Amino acid sequence: MPAADPTDQSFAGAVAIVTGAASGIGAASARHLRRLGATVIATDVAADALRAVADDCGATARVLDVADPAAWSALIDETVAEHGGVDHAHLNAGIFTRPHPYAVRDVTVADYRRVMGVNLDGMVLPVLALAPVIGPRGGSIVCTASLAGLGPYYDDPFYAATKHAVVAFVRSAAPQLAAEGLRLHAICPGGVRTGLISDWVQDRIDARSTTMLDPAEVAEAVAAMLADPGTGSVRTIVAGRGLVEYDFDRGVMPAAD
């Protein structure tokens, strides 16, 4: 199902939080939502790069560890006090497990906890914290998952596990949260030109002659999904194919009541 034209969207007067906003998709999302009129709270752990992005687009920079529930409580309280509420969030922060290539059995518990903390806790914790704030305003959250959340990603199985979990959480939680007014979606980009792409990964991409997405393309798609009146969508975006609703095979679990 094609998404609405993002150029038709207006976020004037809306307050939006974007995580992982110091670079890549998050930076592009912060800039795009600002262009569409939103007040943007841009967050990341990379303080200097984050402030550069925020200064460039007129967003507010807030250093934030997405895996820290206390930090989320403080950010939300501060944002509500300053702006009156929160309408949207693009939960985008994400990392790879270790530099590629790596052996699965070489991954330490610390490596595992770190990737789970950023990629999964960094989605679930803010959804839980933001639901009572965004829901009454009829707002929305888009979580950045990945094509690696829809199939195997042999180069980083732990990253793939986190992205599969994000997709499953969004699909499973969206119906309940809709009853509170919150719309919840996941976007699954293919390869995107970001700082996460190492030379080793880039060489593999070049060998396959794969076309990469520009982060700005993903940012436009995210804005369209934030504005979507439905909930529970999982959409892919791949270079040359646009934003498409993912067609899950009929599973064994029943539909939500």
Point out which residues pair with 143 in neighbouring strands.
91, 186
Residue of 153, 154, 159, 246 marked active site: 159
61 assigned to some structural domain: yes
Residue 29 pLDDT > 60: yes
47 assigned to some structural domain: yes
Task: Report how far residue 110's alpha carbon sits from residue 161's, in angstroms, rounded to the nearest whole number.
Answer: 16
Residue 247 pLDDT > 60: yes
* Residue 174 and residue 184 in contact, taking contact as beta carbons nearer than 8 Å: yes
The residue-averaged pLDDT of 149-177 equals 97
254 assigned to some structural domain: no
Task: Report how far residue 15's alpha carbon sits from residue 41's, in angstroms, rounded to the nearest whole number.
Answer: 8
188 three-state secondary structure: strand
Catalytic-residue membership of 159 = yes
Phi then psi dihedrals of residue 238, to 5 deg: -130, 145
Query: pLDDT by residue (tens digit) across 72-130?
Result: 999 999 999 999 999 999 999 999 999 988 999 999 999 999 999 999 999 999 999 99
Q: What integer pLDDT is reported at residue 251 of this predicted model?
A: 58
State how many domains the chain has.
1
Range of the domain at 60: 6-243
Task: Report how far residue 212's alpha carbon sits from residue 34's, in angstroms, rounded to the nearest whole number.
Answer: 24
Q: CATH number of the domain that 27 lies in?
A: 3.40.50.720
17 assigned to some structural domain: yes
HSE-up of residue 242 (Cα within 13 Å, Cβ side): 9
128 assigned to some structural domain: yes
143 assigned to some structural domain: yes
253 assigned to some structural domain: no
251 assigned to some structural domain: no
Q: Which of 129-138, 188-197, 207-216 has the highest mean pLDDT?
A: 129-138
